[in-house]
Amino acid sequence: MGDINIMIKKLLNMVIYTDGGIFSKENKYINLHLIISEFIVYAVIASIFTETQVQVVLYLDGDSTLLKLSNMIGLGFSLIANAIMTKNKTIVIFRKYYVLLSALSTFLLVLINAIIVIDDYLILRFIGTTVVNNSIVTILGNTVSDTINNKFTGTERTIYSSKKNCMSILASFIGVIGAFFIKADLNILLIIEAIIYIIMMLDDLFIFQKFKEQVFLNKESIK
């Protein structure tokens, strides 16, 4: 029994932090963040991604113009978002308003999906989600990376990255298996996508925010 427990702990340690306890004060928020943002979210995304792409292609009748336009717009906004994150002062500001930015991006993405489901206006999905994902969501992602970089240094940062990758790959594998059993129209897939956005926001509000405060405790940038 003891050998089994040791083996289970070693396996879990590949994807989360187990030393000192999975839900210890030090590990609780980072582990919950990994479980939600890297496992649950990636599993659901992987399960609907292929079907969503198929439904979109069918809707566009094979015309890739909208996809190309969306990619071009996305690159432009991504360049701007990353460029403004090259100053320490800007990073501190976005870190401070991380929760508000997360709520704003979730509201916009869910609203866009809701409009598409109601009015069947697919072009809005490409242009709207592209702008939001490559601006606000990119800034949020860079803020997450900044927090992780302040938490882990050197080899510990590599270890975190490896745990995160193991978790997301495992989740994607499970999601792809589930994709074989998912047959839904585009509206249902967009509703599921909206639920994913809400789950990510809840992680930002109640888990990652706590982790961020823990990392920057006693620093002037977090009050």
CB distance 94 to 85 below 8 Å:
yes
Given the structure tokens 């967009």, which residue do they identify?
A: 190
The Cα–Cα gap between 214 and 140 comes to: 18
The answer to whether 99 and 79 have CB atoms below 8 angstroms apart is no
Q: Are 106 and 129 in contact (CB under 8 A)?
A: no
Q: For helices 122-134 and 65-83, what crossing angle results, to 10°?
A: 20
User: What pLDDT was estimated at residue 101?
Assistant: 97
Q: What angle do helix axes 136-151 and 122-134 make, rounded to 10 degrees?
A: 30
Whole-prediction pTM: 0.88
Which pLDDT score, from 0 to 100, does residue 223 have? 44
Task: Report CA torsion sign: 212, 217, 221, 223.
Answer: positive
CA nearest neighbour of 129 among 141, 145, 116: 116
Identify the pLDDT of residue 196: 96
Candidates 34, 161, 139; CA nearest to 93 is 139
Please list the pLDDT of the chain residue by residue as tens digits (223 residues): 667 877 888 889 999 999 999 999 999 999 999 999 999 999 999 999 988 888 877 777 767 788 888 889 999 999 999 999 999 999 999 999 999 999 999 999 999 988 887 777 777 778 899 999 999 999 999 999 999 999 999 999 999 999 999 999 999 999 999 999 888 888 899 899 999 999 999 999 999 999 999 999 845 444 4
Q: Where are the alpha helices (DSSP H) in the chain?
A: 2-12, 28-33, 41-60, 65-83, 88-96, 98-119, 122-134, 136-151, 155-179, 186-203, 209-215
Give the pLDDT of residue 219.
55
Report the 10 Å Cβ neighbour count for 133: 19
Burial of 217 (0-12, 13-18, 19+ CB in 10 A): exposed
In angstroms, the Cα distances linking 52 to 3, 57, 65, 172, 209 are 44, 9, 18, 15, 31
d(CA 32, CA 207): 7
Helix (H, G, I), strand (E, B) or coil at 111: helix
pLDDT of residue 222: 45
